[in-house]
Amino acid sequence: MKAPQPIPYQGSKRALAPLILRYFPSFSTRIVEPFAGSGAISVASALRNKAERYWLNDLNKPLISLIQEIVENPEIISSKYAKIWNKQLGKEREYYKEVRARFNKSNKPEDFLFILARCVKGAVRYNSNGEFNQSPDNRRKGKRPSNMEKEIFQLSNLLKNRTVFSSHDFKDVLSSVNVEDLVYMDPPYQGTSNKKDSRYLAGLKFHDFVESLNQLNDNQISYIISYDGKLGNKSYGDVLPEFLNLNQILIEVGRSTTATLLGSDEITYESLYLSPALMNKIEIVPEKTVALKSSGQLQLL
């Protein structure tokens, strides 16, 4: 079974999950995601029985509330989504705007699920007032209710009765982990960390993040980070400092869409960092550069 994805979410690590999970221990007591997003890594982990319990945290409270509703009340959220989806027929553009405005007032999970299913590229965007303002993709109506229900129940079956949900600052989450946990972190892009960006409700200060990682090292916590990277020969974001003693792996994500349109062959790479404590737990020796083929197989570069 493929990992279910009822929440379409730009930036999700669902496609890279098989590669990232390669560097997980065979089993962990708990997997913790302080920047969970759609929780793709935890879902993929549960599908492969990589942990006993999970903790999904994100500052985007409506997003965490939606995931919690999917996991804990699949029948209710499926039924509500179907009603909203059917009401749009024949007036798709206008109804999307109506539901979006309603969501910005009430933050109801079913409304959020619908606008995520209908918005352009599944991309979350917020205005300066913190309101969701992404436009609808008028070429499609969003995932059909029958397909949505199937994926909702699949995800619920994977995480129900074994997952904690929260919307705390990442530092509060990291202060509560222990040596039996595995922490996976996919923080906001570094290019947006020190300024307001429409993709995130809050940024991330590089110094604060490094300080937290240093503390995790002192406490012998196992963790993995998806963070900076490069496009062609151009790096983006600061490389995490050497004193953290992290093992860095470059993941070939593929040719940039923008580069392709411009006739360029530039390849995008993302960095994956493995902590010292994790390196002591896993059996494989990490490669410096890897790629994930469309078949889902790993390729050493």
Greatest Cα-to-Cα distance within the chain, rounded to the nearest angstrom: 59
Name the residue ranges covered by the structural domains of the chain: 1-226
DSSP code, position 190: G
Lowest mean pLDDT: which of 165-179, 220-234, 235-249, 285-299? 285-299
User: The whole model's pTM is what?
Assistant: 0.88
Beta-bridge mates of residue 182: 31, 222
Q: What is the pLDDT of residue 131?
A: 94
Q: What is the pLDDT of residue 154?
A: 97
Lowest mean pLDDT: which of 93-97, 177-181, 188-192, 245-249? 188-192
Among 43, 284, 63, which Cα is nearest to 159's? 43
For the chain, give the percent of residues with pLDDT over 70.
85
Q: What is the pLDDT of residue 96?
A: 97
Amino acid sitting at position 166:
S
Q: What is the pLDDT of residue 239?
A: 81
Q: How far apart are the C-alpha atoms of 66 and 110, rounded to whole Å?
A: 7
Q: What mean pLDDT do residues 67-81 have? A: 98
- Contact between 183 and 35 under an 8 Å Cβ cutoff? The reply is no
Q: Does domain 1-226 have CATH number 1.10.1020.10?
A: yes
Q: What mean pLDDT do residues 49-59 have? A: 97
Lowest mean pLDDT: which of 93-97, 241-245, 277-281, 294-298? 294-298
Q: What is the pLDDT of residue 292?
A: 60
Q: What is the pLDDT of residue 297?
A: 52
Average pLDDT in the chain: 87
Mean pLDDT is highest, among 127-136, 216-225, 239-248, for 216-225
Q: What is the pLDDT of residue 104?
A: 97
Q: Higher-confidence residue: 252 or 28?
A: 28
